[in-house]
């Protein structure tokens, strides 16, 4: 069986699905951020304007640029890009450069613009791991030449994320990295070993910080302290439940008016559930399922292992992060604090997500056919 590479149009289903999500995100940020924007900035559409100007417009521009750049280009700069991300992760701890918000050092402040290095880390780590694992295909199954170097790389960035702290992003990073490692040809026994060590490490991290233990307790007992540690999840569940099947109508949420924390950010799924109901959240979930299916299809048809690993990494990033956000706000897993891809407020997040989609679309243009 002979394989050949064909140059074709980028996957139209993936492209339009992403555009629909971005438009939905802008609509929901305009609605969900209404109350908080008015109280804090005296501008009802403050979040919407910033998302468009500093997120959506530059992000879409980068999508169209990266869509037309051969994805092999990124392999040449994979290590430099990864190290730049690591340096930025370290800079968040430097006084005068890093910005501490709500007790977490996750942002670099450049004048009026804030930048979250962990979002750049996601895309740079995917590109670096794809390039690195492709170059070591014969050694991947070896414990010392395959597993251990992989653990060192992931462990190093994990340490920096724990110091911020950003356990939600850490969870997404580990799921992405393990997905790429597995597809590259890793042993199942090595994957199980890492899974066991990871679970033990997670419980250790929970025990070390009281707020993490509080989140676990609230997950197990949502009724616990509804005005204290259980406030956010209870308000989120109230919002989702209030929506019923058809929702209360776009713009008519009550929870967004200083009841539900971060209504335009991590909690935006709850506002979607309240305003658009079961039908709205079902459509949203279907959109993410379409992305997962198309992304894995692109990976299956990619012309080389580098393309396969890139496609798997980007698809895992979007789908795992979406699942974690939706599951957390729905009370299915403990609260994580990760944004809903393409929908939650956050310029850094949507820019790097759209760059990754551009690269994914370029891979789809170079599909292998039998």
Q: How many CA atoms are closer than 13 Å to the CA of 157, on its beta-carbon side?
A: 31
**Global pTM?**
0.91
**Are the CB atoms for 341 and 158 separated by under 8 Å?**
no
**Would you say 190 and 233 are in contact if contact means Cβ atoms under 8 Å apart?**
no
Q: Please write the tens of the pLDDT for every residue from 215-266.
A: 777 776 666 666 767 788 888 888 999 889 999 998 888 888 878 888 888 8
CA distance 67 to 58: 14
Q: Please tell me whether residue 114 adopts helix, strand or coil conformation.
A: strand
Q: Could you identify the residue written with the tokens 């968040």? A: 92
Q: Which residues of 60-84 are buried (b: 16+ CB within 10 A; e: fewer)?
A: bebbeebbeeebbebbeebeebbee
The tokens describing 332, both together, are 């299915």
Share of the chain above pLDDT 70, in %: 92
Across the range 49-57, mean pLDDT stands at 93
64-91 pLDDT per residue, tens: 999 999 999 999 999 999 999 999 899 8
Task: Provide CB contacts within 8 A for 41, sequence distance 6+.
Answer: none
Average pLDDT, rounded, for the chain: 87
**How confident is the model over 352-369, as a mean pLDDT?**
90
Residues 343 and 28: beta-carbon distance below 8 Å: yes
* DSSP summary character for residue 8: -
Find out whether 319 and 198 touch, Cβ atoms under 8 Å. no
Q: What is the pLDDT of residue 351?
A: 95
| C-alpha–C-alpha distance, residues 267 and 343, integer Å | 10
Q: Torsions phi, psi of 100, nearest 5?
A: -100, 120
Q: Looking at the chain, how many residues does it have?
A: 370
370 exposure class (CB count in 10 Å sphere: 0-12, 13-18, 19+): exposed
Stretch 307-318: mean pLDDT, rounded? 97
Tell whether the model's pLDDT for residue 303 goes beyond 60. Answer: yes
For residue 305, the 8-state DSSP code is H
Per-residue DSSP letters for 148-210?
A: HHHHHHHHHHHHHHHHTT-HHHHHHHHHHHHHHHHHTT--HHHHHHHHHHHHHHHHHHHHH-H
Tens of pLDDT, residues 175-227: 999 999 999 988 899 899 988 888 888 888 777 776 677 777 777 666 666 67
- Residue pair 16/294 in contact (Cβ under 8 Å)? The answer is no
Say if residue 172's pLDDT is above 80: yes
Judged by DSSP in three states, 369 sits in: strand
* Confidence at 333, pLDDT banded by 50, 70, 90: confident
Q: What are the percentages of helix, strand and coil residues in the chain, rounded to 5?
A: 70, 5, 25
Those residues whose C-beta lies under 8 Å from the C-beta of residue 362, and which sit 6 or more positions away, are: 10, 66, 67, 68, 69, 70, 71
Q: Residue 3: its pLDDT value, please?
A: 42
| Strands in 181-320 per DSSP E | none
Whether 250 and 274 have beta carbons less than 8 Å apart is answered as no
Measured distance CA(203)–CA(127) in Å, rounded: 30
């Amino acid at each position: 069986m002979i394989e050949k590479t064909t140059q074709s149009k980028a996957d139209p289903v993936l492209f339009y699905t992403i555009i629909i999500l971005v438009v939905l995100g802008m609509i929901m940020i305009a609605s969900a951020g209404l109350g908080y924007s008015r109280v804090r900035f005296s501008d009802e559409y403050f979040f919407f304007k910033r998302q468009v100007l500093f997120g959506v417009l530059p992000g879409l521009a980068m999508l169209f640029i990266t869509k037309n750049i051969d994805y092999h280009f990124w392999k040449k700069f994979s290590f430099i890009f990864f190290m730049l991300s690591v340096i930025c992760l370290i800079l968040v701890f430097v006084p005068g450069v890093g910005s501490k918000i709500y007790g977490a050092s996750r942002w670099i402040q450049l004048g009026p613009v804030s930048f979250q290095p962990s979002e750049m880390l996601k895309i740079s780590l995917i590109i670096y791991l794809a390039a690195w694992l492709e170059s070591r295909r014969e050694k991947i199954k070896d414990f010392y030449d395959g597993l251990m170097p992989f653990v060192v790389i992931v462990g190093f960035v994990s340490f920096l994320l724990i110091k911020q702290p950003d356990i939600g992003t850490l969870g997404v990073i580990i799921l992405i990295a393990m997905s790429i490692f597995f597809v590259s040809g890793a042993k199942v026994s090595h994957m199980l070993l890492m899974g066991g060590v990871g679970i033990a490490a997670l419980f250790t991290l929970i025990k070390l910080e009281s707020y993490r233990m509080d989140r676990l307790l609230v997950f197990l007992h949502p009724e616990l302290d509804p005005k204290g540690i259980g406030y956010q999840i209870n308000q989120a569940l109230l919002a989702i439940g209030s929506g019923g099947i058809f929702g209360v109508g776009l713009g008519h949420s009550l929870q967004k008016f200083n009841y539900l924390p971060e209504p335009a950010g991590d909690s935006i799924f709850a506002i979607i559930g309240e305003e658009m109901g079961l039908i709205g959240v079902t459509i949203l979930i279907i959109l993410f399922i379409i992305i997962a299916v198309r992304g894995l299809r692109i990976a299956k048809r990619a012309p080389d292992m580098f393309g396969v690993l890139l496609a798997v990494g980007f698809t895992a990033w979007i789908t795992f992060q979406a699942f974690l956000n939706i599951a957390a706000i729905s009370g299915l897993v403990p609260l994580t604090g990760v944004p809903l891809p393409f929908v939650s407020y956050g310029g850094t997040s949507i820019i790097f997500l759209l760059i990754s989609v551009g690269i994914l679309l370029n891979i789809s243009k170079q599909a292998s056919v039998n």
